[in-house]
Structure 1
Amino acid sequence: MLNKPTWPILAVTLGISLTACKVLPTPSGDSGGAAAFNPDKMVEALWAAKVVPYLQQKAGPFPEVHALAKTDPAAAGVKYGNPNKQANSPWTFAVRVDGKIVAANTGSRAATMDIDVDGDGKADARVQIGPAMRGTALRDSLDFVQFNDFTNQIDFAQFGKAFNAHADKTVLSKLPREALEGRTAKVLGAYTLEGGQDLPLVTPAEAEIGPRP
């Protein structure tokens, strides 16, 4: 059981089971009942205790996950993602990417590296390394976080962005940015199955880059 979060007027129910995450406003003795919403604090409280263990347990090797996702997205979502997602939302999968960096774009804030996972010299997945990152794949892969637990769409969106910010602060900002091509990379993260993508876009929760060859 987690210790009670420290933000003043927000209670987050975090059971031992990875099946519930309620975000409930509670009365504040200081503000006459106003509610505060702090997604960064919420993600910080969840990260090590629930998010990373969940991804470690749920993630599959990228080739296996992506092959199933292309043929049967729903089956892949049940096995590797959040089967309780909103019906109109795309499937999102927890994944492990392990391979060689064949290209890197670190000239912008939306930095990425392209990973070859099958040894054919061609990129199979694109990994975001920030600090600016697209999407909310980390949030959307979690089966204990649901839209109905939040007051509105804005809060839910901010909560999703807070995962990216926390990953950047704790993991991605520490990665090397020079001479990445040819190095190995190991990533634990999530990606959303979307049409029109050049490569599956993976958002990391954990990432490791090997030494220069």
Structure 2
Amino acid sequence: MRGCMYAAIVVIAASGALQGCKLVKHDAQTSKNSRDAYASAGYDPNAMVASMWSTKIVPDVEKRATDYATLRDAIKADPDTAGKKYGYRGRDDGAPWNFPTKLHGTIVEVDTQSSQGTVGVDIDGDGKADVIVDIGPTVLGTTLRDTLDFISFTSFRNQIEYAQFGTALNSYAATHVMKPFPRDALKGKPITVTGAFSYDSSADQPEIVPLALALGGKS
């Protein structure tokens, strides 16, 4: 009998607790509605990049771009001093400096087999690659995003949107800058580049993500 009374008390207590709670059905439709609500908030990183590319992004980098030979000497002397003068980083917590740059040289190395295609460019005539230039189709990292001095994390609602903007930048550069670039018989040809790189003290050469890329240029 005592056992029955105890069980009844537990049932009554549980039922009272449930009266103060709202049970929410969480199923696939609920998740879909949440995603749709987020998508309808108006944030479209691809459209944002497309609208800014030729009017703001490229002009900003071109205006701040320093000849790579000048950057190389300045970085060799003191990376932080070079960064403060020629580069940009959004935080002062040890994040790498990002440098807008421009250069003309000769292609001496070619990798079109990997998804992240590259060319090595000699700018001083010694036959060795001084920089690596991405030619796609895959672009990795956040160099383009982190080089822009008018864009920062605070420009976005959250980290996800900030990351999506960086991905959209890479995608736009891959489609509109790198994809049209020739792939055949590149070695030995002159090349002109405007782009950006993130400084990495452990790298033999900087890896430049281009915003403008063309064969030819200075004679």
What's the TM-score, normalizing by structure 1? 0.78
Is 1:198 the counterpart of 2:200 in the alignment? Answer: no
Structure 1 stretches of 4+ moved >4 Å: 30-34
Cα deviation, 1:82-124, whole Å, max 9, x if unaligned, reads 2544533111000012100001000122100000011111100
My pick for the range that moved more, 39-48 or 83-92, is 83-92
Aligned to 2:165, which of 159, 163, 177? 159
Structure 2: give runs of 5+ residues left out of the alignment: 1-35
Is 1:61 the counterpart of 2:67 in the alignment? Answer: yes
Larger radius of gyration: 2
Counterpart residue identity of residue 84, structure 2: V
Partner residue, 2:88: 82
Is the 8 Å Cα contact of residues 80 and 95 (structure 1) preserved in structure 2? no
Q: Distance in 2 between matches of 1:32 and 1:96?
A: 39
My pick for the range that moved more, 62-71 or 115-124, is 62-71
Aligned to 1:113, which of 114, 119, 123? 119
Partner residue, 1:209: 215
Counterpart residue identity of residue 128, structure 1: D
Q: Distance in 2 between matches of 1:32 and 1:155?
A: 11
Q: Distance in 1 between matches of 2:84 and 2:47?
A: 29
Partner residue, 1:48: 54
Cα deviation, 1:63-92, whole Å, max 9, x if unaligned, reads 111221233223322332225445331110
Give the C-alpha shift of residue 173 in structure 1.
0.7
Structure 1: give runs of 5+ residues left out of the alignment: 1-29
Partner residue, 2:192: 186
Partner residue, 1:141: 147
Cα deviation, 1:19-43, whole Å, max 9, x if unaligned, reads xxxxxxxxxxx96996242211111
Q: Distance in 2 between matches of 1:81 and 1:42?
A: 24
Cα deviation, 1:118-157, whole Å, max 9, x if unaligned, reads 1111100000011101211111111101112222222212
Q: Distance in 2 between matches of 1:33 and 1:177?
A: 37
My pick for the range that moved more, 128-137 or 70-79, is 70-79
Return the structure number with greater helix share: 2
Return the structure number with greater strand share: 1
Q: Distance in 2 between matches of 1:195 and 1:123?
A: 17
Q: Distance in 1 between matches of 2:132 and 2:168?
A: 21
Is the 8 Å Cα contact of residues 115 and 136 (structure 2) preserved in structure 1? yes
Is the 8 Å Cα contact of residues 81 and 143 (structure 1) preserved in structure 2? no
Q: 1:200 to 1:32 in 2, by over 3 A?
A: closer
What is the DSSP-based 3-state SS (H/G/I as helix, E as strand, rest coil) of the residue aligned with 1:171? helix
Give the C-alpha shift of residue 194 in structure 1.
1.4
Partner residue, 1:126: 132
Counterpart residue identity of residue 93, structure 1: F
Q: 1:167 to 1:33 in 2, by over 3 A?
A: closer
Q: How many residue pairs get matched?
A: 182
1:93-112 aligned within 5 A: 93-112=99-118
RMSD: 2.2
